[in-house]
Amino acid sequence: METAVQTFGLWSILPPLIAITLALWTRQVFMALAVGIWFGYMIMAGWHPLTGTLDTINSFVTVLTDTSNARMVMFSLIIGPLIALVQRSGGVEGFVGHILKFLERSSAKHSAKGNRKIVESLAAVTGLLIFIESNISLFTVGTLYRPVFDKMKIPREKLAYITDSTSAPSNILMPFNAWGAFIMTLLVIYTTGPDKVFDNEFEVLVKSIAYNFYPMLTVALIFVVIWSGKDVGDMKKAETRALETGKILRDGAVPMMDDSVSMLEAKNGVPHRAFNMLIPIASMVALVPTFLVYTGWGEAVKIAATEAAASGQDPVRGMALAGKALSEGSGSAAVLYAVIFAIFIAMVLYRAQGIMKITEMVDLSLKAMAGMVNVAILAVLAFALNAMCKEIGTGNFVAGIVSGTIPAGFIPALIFIIAGFIGFSTGTSWGTFSIMIAVAVPIAANVEGVNLYMAVAAALGGGVFGDHCSPTSDTTIIASMATANDHIDHVRTQIPYALIAGGGAVIMYLVLGFMGV
């Protein structure tokens, strides 16, 4: 039997095109992905409606028979309890309380202009440090710094920009969170089977960070704007208005309510202690590499023994063996184990302090898991779309066209631009990831001269770029809510900065692409 590309040819690109078109038209990513998957299996079933439909249903079951996929779906659900427990314990409030004390101590030592820069910088740093979950970052920075910004007559538009532009970039650049886990769910399909591209999805994710230029430039631009005092577009008008009139909102602005979608409040009467947030999160971060070594140890020992037998030397031991185990470990298993242990650590910590009873924490965890169902469903749809595209040969067919018509140097920049367009139109970076990774990885694997890590980074950075510019993005909306800002004002003031960082990313992809990096 011939390959999928030879069998289905041009038909192989229609399912993802249908998914993209529907996503752009309806802004319903779940439905768009499901229809695209169904259309793909209809093609492979020879347009037999019953067979194609049943194959589509079975594909959702099949992807969950893969242990890595199942682990990632579980992680998508149980990250919710860790977030809820940390919030309910008063850990977030305790953490930000230390920042407020620092503000009080430093305010008497600097001019009003200097204090503005310090406050804005602290808001940005806070957003970057809370990388465990984007909504925690948005709500924490927005609700904490809003009264401080208002007191200093800093426009709400600036707070919304800082809040929004530190949330997603910190999450995408730090692999130890739900974002990293979800991305690994999209990459894990390329670690096994006849079309295997790489050995370890975690390694690919980590190495792609070095090429994820958009979030890097976005973060750098924030501090350039803060410390230079130079603003552009509508943000410059907002700063002038606040400086001359003291108005933190423009006349006629309609600030979004921030009390309808808010961070879970700390339990009444509990002390706000920063270590109640830092210990569970730090434990999770530290346990990920620990469990990578654990899960990869057996394979590393086998590889070391084989290499030693072939070379006639003693097998490697100690740190060298741990390094091999780290690269051979299961990323999906390590992340799942780490978050489960972090939840256990959090529960023991909070019970020992008398903050919450075990039954209370279990009930809270179950409710939090229910709130993560949409993420789990999106993960399953993403698995199924990736599996279908691989089976029908979409990526290989597109790679064949690109390799003959588009120079390899253009491809990373092109991936970034397409991902940005999809992210802007659909308002979701995760939905964009699920569509673009299925094409970017096979292209990088089959087109000579395309850096795999750069292609993955371009797909991820482009999704965040489009999400930053989109007025329908959930993170953009939540940023407006958390900062009590007019939503359209937030979009209009943030887009120029997103375009500057996005343009810089395109230039860097073109330069490195044609340099053959």
For the four alpha carbons of 222, 226, 230 and 235, in that order, the dihedral sign comes to positive
* 3-class state of residue 95 by DSSP: helix
Q: Which residues of 17-32 are buried (b: 16+ CB within 10 A; e: fewer)?
A: ebbbebbeeebebeeb
| Average pLDDT value for residue range 91-100 | 76
pLDDT-derived band at 465, boundaries 50, 70, 90: very high
Write down the pLDDT at residue 402.
Answer: 61
Contact of 136 with 176, CB cutoff 8 Å:
no
- Taking only the tens place, the pLDDT of each residue in 404-454 is 667 888 999 999 998 888 888 667 788 788 888 888 888 888 888 889 999
- 266 conformational bin, left if phi > 0, alpha if psi -120 to 50, beta if neither: beta
Q: Considering only the C-alpha atoms of the chain, give the largest distance between any 2 of them, rounded to a whole number of Å.
A: 79
Q: How far apart are CA 19 and CA 389, in angstroms?
A: 11
Q: How far apart are CA 241 and CA 13, in angstroms?
A: 50
pLDDT-derived band at 263, boundaries 50, 70, 90: low
For the four alpha carbons of 231, 235, 241 and 246, in that order, the dihedral sign comes to negative
Q: Which of 52-66, 168-182, 216-230, 304-318 has the highest mean pLDDT?
A: 216-230
Token pair of 487, please? 């939503």
Q: How far apart are CA 167 and CA 128, in angstroms?
A: 7
Write down the pLDDT at residue 258.
Answer: 42
- Taking only the tens place, the pLDDT of each residue in 294-336 is 888 888 788 778 877 777 777 767 777 777 777 677 777 888 8
Write down the pLDDT at residue 132.
Answer: 67
Amino acid at 472: T
Contact of 330 with 295, CB cutoff 8 Å:
yes
Q: How far apart are CA 403 and CA 87, in angstroms?
A: 50
Write down the pLDDT at residue 54.
Answer: 94
Write down the pLDDT at residue 97.
Answer: 78
Token pair of 3, please? 């390959």
Contacts of 23 (CB under 8 A, 6+ apart): 29, 32, 33, 422, 425, 426, 431, 435
Closest CA to 393 of 25, 43, 23, 18: 43
* 3-class state of residue 255 by DSSP: strand
| % of the chain exceeding 70 in pLDDT | 89
Q: Is the pLDDT of residue 2 over 50?
A: no
Closest CA to 289 of 329, 247, 260, 317: 329
Q: How far apart are CA 396 and CA 435, in angstroms?
A: 15
pTM over 0.85: no
Contact of 90 with 374, CB cutoff 8 Å:
no
| Average pLDDT value for residue range 79-84 | 83
* 3-class state of residue 486 by DSSP: strand
Q: Is the pLDDT of residue 352 over 80?
A: yes
Q: Is the pLDDT of residue 347 over 90?
A: yes
Give DSSP secondary structure letters for 31-90. HHHHHHHHHHHHHHTTT-HHHHHHHHHHHHHHHHHSHHHHHHHHHHHHHHHHHHHHHHTT
Q: How far apart are CA 428 and CA 474, in angstroms?
A: 7
Amino acid at 251: D
Give DSSP secondary structure letters for 264-328. PPPPTT----THHHHHHHHHHHHHHHHHHHHHHHHHHHHHHHHHHHHHTSPPP-HHHHHHHHHHH
Write down the pLDDT at residue 213.
Answer: 97
Q: What are phi and psi of 486, to 5 degrees?
A: -65, 125
**What single DSSP character describes residue 332?**
H
Looking at every residue in the chain, the average pLDDT score rounds to 83
Dihedral over alpha carbons 297, 302, 306, 309 (to 10 degrees):
90
Distance of CA 362 to the CA centre of its chain: 27
Write down the pLDDT at residue 377.
Answer: 83
Q: How far apart are CA 20 and CA 421, in angstroms?
A: 10
DSSP bridge partners of 18: none
Tell me the H-state helices in 66-177. 67-88, 91-106, 112-129, 134-151, 156-173
Q: How far apart are CA 61 and CA 43, in angstroms?
A: 20
CA atoms within 13 A on the CB side of 71: 20
**What single DSSP character describes residue 110?**
S
